[in-house]
Amino acid sequence: MLMNVRKTLINDILFYSVGFQEFSDFIADKFSSNLNTKLIIVHINLKNYYYLNKDKKFKDKIKNDCLCVVDGIGMKIGIMLGGYGVVTDLNGTDLFPLLIKKFISSGYKIFLLGADENVVQKTAKKLPEEYPGAKLSGFHNGYFNDDEEDEVIQKINNSKSDILIIGRGFPLQEQFVLKHKDNLRVSVIWNVGGLFDFLSGSKPRAPLVLRKIRLEWLYRFILEPGRMFHRNTVAAFWSLLHLTFNIKDYSR
């Protein structure tokens, strides 16, 4: 279990806030504990929170079946405005180097699902180059329709992977996972959004100085204003206001 973790109940969803190293240790312990339960990790930022609260059935499934982690400076601000102090947020891009080293040291096999064919191929090629010893058991792009889902699931299962890293964007990736979680024979499913774009080098991350002062969102907005406009305005402000007034409980 996660120790020394801050838990915040927002609109009936339990959010975990924990350090990068502690969370990566938790994932490694998941395998050694021989638990039969499947772990589904979901990162929730302000944009994801907005869409999550527009679909009650989807929200209930996330609440019941997933481990939700606080992601992004916006969520931190909302929780702080709600009166619960400063929490640690956990973004997938910075978490990945720690987790991949855990996977390598333990020999776990990874399947990549998401992005377009070019990006996922680049990610699959760069992964063992940048992280020697990484066991990539297979990959598939994220552009498939409902009729092809069974074929994709079979490919994942045939690979005998331990971990599925899926980057199809929120909420598409979570909807796929929740629909097929009982048929996916992996121990951990990690929903990572656009992570493959960064791992493959297809999109640049913000300079380190901007990341340190928590302005990576602004850098991405400048690069892709059309795509980022709604999430950084309507979705962000709605989510900030909503979560600030819907924090019902807090515990350590």
pLDDT, position 56 = 93
Q: Give the pLDDT band (50/70/90) at residue 206.
A: low
- Residue 28 has phi, psi (to 5 degrees) of -65, -40
Q: 72 or 167: which carries more pLDDT confidence? A: 167
Q: What is the rounded CA–CA span in Å between residue 219 and residue 26?
A: 31
> Is residue 210 domain-resident?
yes
> Is residue 73 domain-resident?
yes
Q: Give the pLDDT band (50/70/90) at residue 251.
A: low
> Is residue 139 domain-resident?
yes
DSSP 8-state symbol, 243: H
> Is residue 252 domain-resident?
no
Q: Please, what is the average pLDDT of the chain?
A: 88
Q: What is the rounded CA–CA span in Å between residue 135 and residue 117?
A: 20
Q: Which of 142-151, 180-189, 202-211, 232-241 has the lowest mean pLDDT?
A: 202-211
For residue 114, is pLDDT > 60? yes
For residue 4, is pLDDT > 70? no
> Is residue 179 domain-resident?
yes
Q: Give the pLDDT band (50/70/90) at residue 155.
A: very high
> Is residue 171 domain-resident?
yes
Total domain count for the chain? 1
Q: Give the pLDDT band (50/70/90) at residue 229.
A: confident
The pLDDT > 70 percentage for the chain reads 92
Give Cα separations from 50 to 42, 96, 103, 163, 172 (angstroms).
14, 25, 32, 28, 14
Q: Which of 23-32, 105-114, 122-131 has the lowest mean pLDDT?
A: 23-32
DSSP 55-100: -HHHHHHHHHH-EEEE-SHHHHHHHHHTTS-------HHHHHHHHH
The string of pLDDT tens digits covering residues 17-30 is: 888 888 888 877 77
The answer to whether 80 and 6 have CB atoms below 8 angstroms apart is no
Q: What is the rounded CA–CA span in Å between residue 155 and residue 138?
A: 8
For residue 108, give both structure tokens: 């776990």
> Is residue 136 domain-resident?
yes
Domain that holds residue 75: 6-246
Q: Give the pLDDT band (50/70/90) at residue 163.
A: very high
Q: Which of 43-52, 142-151, 230-239 has the lowest mean pLDDT?
A: 230-239
Q: What is the rounded CA–CA span in Å between residue 231 and residue 46?
A: 8
The mean pLDDT of 137-148, rounded to a whole number, is: 96
The answer to whether 157 and 126 have CB atoms below 8 angstroms apart is no
> Is residue 110 domain-resident?
yes
pLDDT, position 38 = 86
pLDDT, position 43 = 96
The string of pLDDT tens digits covering residues 33-87 is: 655 678 999 999 999 999 999 999 999 999 999 999 999 889 988 888 888 888 8
For residue 31, is pLDDT > 70? no
For residue 96, is pLDDT > 70? yes
Q: Give the pLDDT band (50/70/90) at residue 146.
A: very high
Q: What is the rounded CA–CA span in Å between residue 229 and residue 7?
A: 30
Torsional sign, CA 12, 167, 50, 57: negative
For residue 219, is pLDDT > 80? no
